[in-house]
Amino acid sequence: MRKIDVVKGLLPATVVAGERGEAFAPSNIALCKYWGKRDRELNLPINASLSVSLAHLGSHTIVTESDTGADRVVLNGIEQSTDSKFARKVVEFVSLFRGDLQQPVLVSTENNIPTAAGLASSASGFAALMLALNQFYNLNLTDIELSACARMGSGSASRSIFTGFVEWQMGHRDDGMDSHAIVLDKPWPDLRIGLVKVTTAEKKVDSRAGMQRTVESAHLYQSWPLQAAADLEKLHLAIGQQDFMLLGETAEQNALSMHATMIASWPPLLYWQPESVAAMHKVWDLRAQGLQVYFTMDAGPNIKLLFQQQDEAALLEAFPELEVVAPFSS
């Protein structure tokens, strides 16, 4: 099915624009990763995934009427050229929701995380855009519909409509409307995420191309859905019992399993830099010394540490540049 046909069923008979739509959405880090699509048009995943949101880190987006007679996209104060990939993706997404309305828009968005560097800017970016469009066009979509629609912009964005621990259910319908996120409502106040920024440069192969390459060329990928399903179960257990060791072990093994499938692709896909590998060894050394710290990694060279509040000082000493996020404290 085409996106436009799926969205059509959700829009009012006549779409009317308001003055302004404005929203923030947090980025999120998957503990059980989304890697591989069963439908590339609708971003329907091969496996369910589970993430934790990154509090104040994410995207802030404002949608208004354009004053130039053409669609405009501004990222971090910089006008994006109309034929840039960034602007095209944003405008294509907006066009799904404006019905017959031909009015051009100005989308102005700020990321307080690096863009396209494996810190899930596509998740916060498309979730914030979806929330802003819902306001601007008075769509009155439910959270579930917002999540399913944000998914069509970027899969991981389905999870950024919610905060805390969030599960994206894979769904089974052809129109994908049952493939949306749900919130787990299991706060874990002591949980901390530490961002080890290796580089903020844009990756050469984006997540979309990376997962397609893996699905199409890595025999090892066949093991991935099984790994993900088993890890999802373990994460539910870990979150339910606040079992930090189980959470950390599962997230780390899940991330490395995903990366194993990428490395087994052709051409090979290795997002790691020497500094990423050094950080992994440091985590393993610290763990051998008795510190409870684990890591996860997305499609990029940056490492995310998982630890608990009680170990924050020790980790700041080991990683002086660490940016610490407390997902559950307001």
Contacts with ligand DP6 by CB under 6 A lie at 30, 33-35, 43, 49, 120, 122, 154-156, 207-208, 298-299
Toward ligand DP6, which CB reaches closer, 33 or 213? 33
Q: What are 121's two structure tokens?
A: 């800017």
Site for ligand ADP in 176-215 (CB under 6 A): 206-207
**CA angle (162, 163, 167) in 5-degree steps:** 65
Binds ligand ADP by CB under 6 A, chosen from 111, 135, 214, 227: 111
Residue 254 within binding range of ligand ADP, rule CB under 6 A: no
Burial class for 174, CB neighbours closer than 10 Å (0-12, 13-18, 19+): exposed
Residue 124 within binding range of Co ion, rule CB under 5 A: no
Binder of residue 192, out of ligand DP6, Co ion, ligand ADP, none (CB less than 5 to 8 A by kind): none
Q: What is the DSSP string of 233-249?
A: HHHHHHHHHT-HHHHHH
CB of 288 to ligand ADP, least distance (A): 30
Choices 38-46, 116-124, 185-193, 218-226 (CB under 6 A): range interacting with ligand ADP = 116-124
Toward Co ion, which CB reaches closer, 157 or 170? 157
Q: What is the DSSP string of 43-68?
A: TEESS-EEEEEEEEEEEEEEEEE-SS
Distance between CA atoms of residues 292 and 238, nearest Å: 15
Binder of residue 162, out of ligand ADP, ligand DP6, Co ion, none (CB less than 5 to 8 A by kind): none
Binder of residue 155, out of ligand ADP, ligand DP6, Co ion, none (CB less than 5 to 8 A by kind): ligand DP6
Are the C-beta atoms of 241 and 233 separated by less than 8 Å? no
* Burial letters 75-86, b for 16+ CB under 10 A, else e: beeeebeeeeee
What is the identity of the amino acid at 274?
Answer: P
CB of 10 to ligand ADP, least distance (A): 20
Toward Co ion, which CB reaches closer, 54 or 293? 54
Distance between CA atoms of residues 189 and 197, nearest Å: 24
Q: Where along the sequence are the contacts to ligand ADP (CB under 6 A)?
A: 59, 85-86, 89-90, 109, 111, 115-123, 125-126, 129, 154, 206-207, 298-300
